[in-house]
Amino acid sequence: MTENCLRSEKRENIRKGVYLLPNLITAGGIFAGFYVIIAATDGNYERAAWFILLAAIFDGLDGKVARLTGTSSKFGVELDSLADVISFGVAPGVLLYLWALRPFGKLGWLAAFLYVICGALRLARFNVQVSTVESRRFVGMPIPAAACIVATCVLLFYELGGTGTIKMVSMVFLVFLLAFLLVSNIEYLSLKDPDLFKRQPFVLLVVAIMLLIVIVAKPQIMLFLIGIAYLLSGPIGFYIGWRKNRQNGDHSTANES
Protein backbone atom coordinates (compact mmCIF):
# COMPACT_ATOMS: atom_id res chain seq x y z
CA MET A 1 0.00 0.00 0.00
CA THR A 2 2.80 2.39 0.94
CA GLU A 3 4.78 1.64 -2.24
CA ASN A 4 1.71 2.35 -4.36
CA CYS A 5 1.25 5.69 -2.61
CA LEU A 6 4.87 6.63 -3.23
CA ARG A 7 4.62 5.70 -6.89
CA SER A 8 1.44 7.72 -7.25
CA GLU A 9 3.13 10.68 -5.57
CA LYS A 10 6.10 10.49 -7.94
CA ARG A 11 3.81 10.33 -10.97
CA GLU A 12 1.86 13.28 -9.62
CA ASN A 13 5.07 15.31 -9.24
CA ILE A 14 5.92 14.72 -12.90
CA ARG A 15 2.40 15.71 -13.92
CA LYS A 16 2.82 19.01 -12.11
CA GLY A 17 5.70 19.76 -14.45
CA VAL A 18 9.47 20.22 -14.37
CA TYR A 19 11.66 23.28 -13.84
CA LEU A 20 12.37 24.79 -17.24
CA LEU A 21 15.58 26.85 -16.93
CA PRO A 22 18.07 24.38 -15.39
CA ASN A 23 16.77 21.51 -17.53
CA LEU A 24 17.08 23.63 -20.68
CA ILE A 25 20.73 24.28 -19.76
CA THR A 26 21.25 20.53 -19.28
CA ALA A 27 19.59 19.93 -22.66
CA GLY A 28 22.09 22.41 -24.12
CA GLY A 29 24.89 20.25 -22.74
CA ILE A 30 23.35 17.16 -24.35
CA PHE A 31 23.11 19.02 -27.66
CA ALA A 32 26.78 20.01 -27.41
CA GLY A 33 27.77 16.42 -26.69
CA PHE A 34 25.70 15.12 -29.60
CA TYR A 35 27.25 17.69 -31.92
CA VAL A 36 30.72 16.50 -30.83
CA ILE A 37 29.85 13.12 -32.37
CA ILE A 38 28.50 14.73 -35.55
CA ALA A 39 31.57 16.98 -35.95
CA ALA A 40 34.00 14.13 -35.25
CA THR A 41 32.23 11.92 -37.79
CA ASP A 42 32.63 14.69 -40.38
CA GLY A 43 36.33 15.03 -39.54
CA ASN A 44 35.97 18.40 -37.78
CA TYR A 45 37.97 17.29 -34.76
CA GLU A 46 38.99 20.74 -33.57
CA ARG A 47 35.38 21.97 -33.61
CA ALA A 48 34.32 18.81 -31.78
CA ALA A 49 36.87 19.55 -29.06
CA TRP A 50 35.52 23.08 -28.57
CA PHE A 51 32.01 21.68 -28.16
CA ILE A 52 33.21 19.37 -25.38
CA LEU A 53 34.39 22.48 -23.54
CA LEU A 54 31.01 24.12 -24.26
CA ALA A 55 29.26 21.09 -22.77
CA ALA A 56 31.44 21.48 -19.66
CA ILE A 57 30.27 25.09 -19.32
CA PHE A 58 26.63 23.97 -19.52
CA ASP A 59 27.36 21.25 -16.95
CA GLY A 60 28.76 23.81 -14.54
CA LEU A 61 25.86 26.18 -15.03
CA ASP A 62 22.82 23.94 -14.68
CA GLY A 63 23.43 22.91 -11.09
CA LYS A 64 24.35 26.42 -9.98
CA VAL A 65 21.26 27.90 -11.66
CA ALA A 66 19.07 25.26 -10.02
CA ARG A 67 20.50 26.01 -6.57
CA LEU A 68 20.36 29.80 -6.97
CA THR A 69 16.76 29.74 -8.18
CA GLY A 70 15.62 27.02 -5.80
CA THR A 71 14.64 24.75 -8.70
CA SER A 72 16.66 21.65 -7.84
CA SER A 73 14.80 18.41 -8.46
CA LYS A 74 15.33 14.66 -8.66
CA PHE A 75 14.39 14.84 -12.35
CA GLY A 76 17.12 17.41 -12.98
CA VAL A 77 19.70 15.31 -11.18
CA GLU A 78 18.87 12.24 -13.26
CA LEU A 79 18.85 14.23 -16.51
CA ASP A 80 22.22 15.78 -15.62
CA SER A 81 23.72 12.34 -15.02
CA LEU A 82 22.48 11.10 -18.40
CA ALA A 83 23.86 14.25 -20.03
CA ASP A 84 27.28 13.54 -18.51
CA VAL A 85 27.32 10.04 -20.00
CA ILE A 86 26.63 11.45 -23.45
CA SER A 87 28.71 14.65 -23.39
CA PHE A 88 31.71 13.47 -21.37
CA GLY A 89 31.64 9.73 -21.96
CA VAL A 90 30.35 8.69 -25.38
CA ALA A 91 31.22 11.91 -27.25
CA PRO A 92 34.92 12.06 -26.18
CA GLY A 93 35.17 8.30 -26.75
CA VAL A 94 33.99 8.69 -30.36
CA LEU A 95 36.30 11.68 -30.84
CA LEU A 96 39.27 9.74 -29.48
CA TYR A 97 38.63 6.80 -31.75
CA LEU A 98 38.06 8.76 -34.96
CA TRP A 99 40.87 11.24 -34.31
CA ALA A 100 43.67 9.05 -33.01
CA LEU A 101 42.75 5.42 -32.29
CA ARG A 102 41.24 4.26 -35.58
CA PRO A 103 44.62 3.07 -37.01
CA PHE A 104 44.75 0.48 -34.20
CA GLY A 105 41.58 -1.18 -35.52
CA LYS A 106 39.70 -3.30 -33.02
CA LEU A 107 42.12 -2.44 -30.22
CA GLY A 108 41.49 1.23 -30.92
CA TRP A 109 37.74 1.18 -30.48
CA LEU A 110 38.07 -1.15 -27.49
CA ALA A 111 40.39 1.40 -25.86
CA ALA A 112 37.83 4.13 -26.57
CA PHE A 113 35.11 1.94 -25.08
CA LEU A 114 37.24 1.41 -21.98
CA TYR A 115 37.19 5.17 -21.44
CA VAL A 116 33.40 5.27 -21.93
CA ILE A 117 32.61 2.40 -19.55
CA CYS A 118 34.97 3.69 -16.86
CA GLY A 119 33.29 7.08 -17.16
CA ALA A 120 29.87 5.46 -16.75
CA LEU A 121 31.10 3.52 -13.71
CA ARG A 122 32.51 6.74 -12.26
CA LEU A 123 29.12 8.45 -12.61
CA ALA A 124 27.25 5.48 -11.12
CA ARG A 125 29.58 5.42 -8.12
CA PHE A 126 29.23 9.18 -7.67
CA ASN A 127 25.44 8.95 -7.70
CA VAL A 128 25.54 6.25 -5.04
CA GLN A 129 28.08 8.06 -2.82
CA VAL A 130 26.92 11.65 -3.35
CA SER A 131 25.30 11.85 0.10
CA THR A 132 28.18 10.20 1.98
CA VAL A 133 31.33 11.66 0.37
CA GLU A 134 32.80 15.03 1.34
CA SER A 135 31.60 17.70 -1.10
CA ARG A 136 35.05 19.32 -1.28
CA ARG A 137 36.61 16.25 -2.84
CA PHE A 138 35.79 13.89 -5.69
CA VAL A 139 36.68 10.20 -5.36
CA GLY A 140 38.26 9.53 -8.74
CA MET A 141 38.70 12.08 -11.50
CA PRO A 142 35.37 13.72 -12.41
CA ILE A 143 34.31 12.75 -15.92
CA PRO A 144 33.88 16.36 -17.17
CA ALA A 145 37.53 17.00 -16.32
CA ALA A 146 38.62 13.84 -18.16
CA ALA A 147 36.63 14.88 -21.24
CA CYS A 148 38.09 18.38 -21.15
CA ILE A 149 41.61 16.93 -21.04
CA VAL A 150 40.82 14.93 -24.19
CA ALA A 151 39.48 18.11 -25.82
CA THR A 152 42.52 20.21 -24.89
CA CYS A 153 44.85 17.53 -26.30
CA VAL A 154 43.06 17.81 -29.64
CA LEU A 155 43.19 21.62 -29.54
CA LEU A 156 46.89 21.64 -28.64
CA PHE A 157 47.66 19.24 -31.49
CA TYR A 158 46.16 21.59 -34.06
CA GLU A 159 47.63 24.66 -32.37
CA LEU A 160 51.09 23.14 -32.87
CA GLY A 161 50.50 22.46 -36.54
CA GLY A 162 48.28 19.40 -36.65
CA THR A 163 50.88 17.02 -38.08
CA GLY A 164 52.75 13.97 -36.85
CA THR A 165 51.87 10.48 -35.66
CA ILE A 166 52.85 10.85 -32.01
CA LYS A 167 49.22 11.56 -31.21
CA MET A 168 48.29 7.89 -31.76
CA VAL A 169 50.72 6.46 -29.21
CA SER A 170 50.24 9.29 -26.73
CA MET A 171 46.44 9.01 -26.91
CA VAL A 172 46.55 5.27 -26.21
CA PHE A 173 48.53 6.03 -23.06
CA LEU A 174 46.17 8.88 -22.15
CA VAL A 175 43.06 6.73 -22.60
CA PHE A 176 44.31 4.06 -20.21
CA LEU A 177 45.48 6.69 -17.72
CA LEU A 178 42.14 8.52 -17.75
CA ALA A 179 40.22 5.24 -17.47
CA PHE A 180 42.26 4.29 -14.41
CA LEU A 181 41.89 7.69 -12.76
CA LEU A 182 38.12 7.72 -13.34
CA VAL A 183 37.54 4.54 -11.34
CA SER A 184 40.39 4.98 -8.85
CA ASN A 185 40.08 6.07 -5.23
CA ILE A 186 42.41 9.01 -5.83
CA GLU A 187 40.81 12.21 -4.59
CA TYR A 188 40.46 15.35 -6.69
CA LEU A 189 39.55 18.85 -5.62
CA SER A 190 35.94 19.72 -6.32
CA LEU A 191 35.42 23.01 -8.12
CA LYS A 192 31.93 23.00 -6.60
CA ASP A 193 33.35 23.57 -3.13
CA PRO A 194 31.22 26.35 -1.54
CA ASP A 195 34.32 27.84 0.10
CA LEU A 196 35.63 28.81 -3.35
CA PHE A 197 32.78 31.30 -3.68
CA LYS A 198 33.28 32.95 -0.30
CA ARG A 199 35.44 36.02 0.39
CA GLN A 200 39.04 35.43 -0.64
CA PRO A 201 42.26 37.45 -0.28
CA PHE A 202 42.61 40.31 -2.75
CA VAL A 203 45.79 38.82 -4.21
CA LEU A 204 43.79 35.82 -5.46
CA LEU A 205 41.62 38.14 -7.52
CA VAL A 206 44.72 39.64 -9.14
CA VAL A 207 46.14 36.18 -9.87
CA ALA A 208 42.80 35.05 -11.33
CA ILE A 209 42.64 38.09 -13.64
CA MET A 210 46.21 37.53 -14.84
CA LEU A 211 45.47 33.86 -15.45
CA LEU A 212 42.35 34.78 -17.41
CA ILE A 213 44.36 37.14 -19.61
CA VAL A 214 46.94 34.45 -20.35
CA ILE A 215 44.19 31.94 -21.15
CA VAL A 216 42.53 34.34 -23.58
CA ALA A 217 45.90 35.05 -25.23
CA LYS A 218 46.76 31.35 -25.77
CA PRO A 219 43.63 29.32 -24.93
CA GLN A 220 44.69 26.03 -26.54
CA ILE A 221 48.02 25.90 -24.73
CA MET A 222 46.83 27.24 -21.38
CA LEU A 223 43.73 25.04 -21.20
CA PHE A 224 45.91 22.02 -21.93
CA LEU A 225 48.36 22.97 -19.16
CA ILE A 226 45.52 23.56 -16.70
CA GLY A 227 44.04 20.17 -17.59
CA ILE A 228 47.34 18.36 -17.13
CA ALA A 229 47.93 20.19 -13.84
CA TYR A 230 44.53 19.02 -12.58
CA LEU A 231 45.21 15.47 -13.78
CA LEU A 232 48.52 15.38 -11.88
CA SER A 233 47.09 17.03 -8.75
CA GLY A 234 45.27 13.83 -7.77
CA PRO A 235 48.23 11.41 -7.87
CA ILE A 236 50.53 14.04 -6.30
CA GLY A 237 48.05 14.64 -3.46
CA PHE A 238 47.63 10.88 -3.02
CA TYR A 239 51.40 10.40 -2.80
CA ILE A 240 51.82 13.22 -0.27
CA GLY A 241 49.03 11.77 1.86
CA TRP A 242 50.56 8.30 1.63
CA ARG A 243 53.96 9.63 2.72
CA LYS A 244 52.43 11.45 5.69
CA ASN A 245 50.50 8.38 6.79
CA ARG A 246 53.62 6.26 6.45
CA GLN A 247 55.70 8.71 8.48
CA ASN A 248 53.01 8.89 11.15
CA GLY A 249 52.93 5.10 11.26
CA ASP A 250 56.70 4.95 11.66
CA HIS A 251 56.59 7.53 14.47
CA SER A 252 53.84 5.54 16.24
CA THR A 253 55.85 2.36 15.96
CA ALA A 254 58.96 4.09 17.30
CA ASN A 255 57.04 5.54 20.26
CA GLU A 256 55.61 2.13 21.13
CA SER A 257 59.11 0.68 21.05
d(CA 52, CA 154): 11
Question: 7-256 is classed in which CATH architecture?
Answer: Up-down Bundle (1.20)
> How far is 54 from 37, CA to CA, in rounded Å?
14
- Looking at residue 6, what is its pLDDT? 45
Q: Model pTM?
A: 0.84
Phi, psi of 50 (to 5 degrees): -60, -35
| Burial of 75 per CB tally in 10 Å (0-12, 13-18, 19+) | middle
pLDDT per residue over 98-110, tens digit each? 999 999 999 999 9
Mean pLDDT by runs of 10 across the 257 residues of the chain is 48 58 91 97 96 95 82 84 95 95 92 96 86 72 95 92 72 94 92 62 83 88 94 92 77 58
Give the CA angle between residues 240, 227, 121 to the nearest 5°.
80
| pLDDT per residue as tens digits for the range 211-226 | 889 888 889 999 999 9
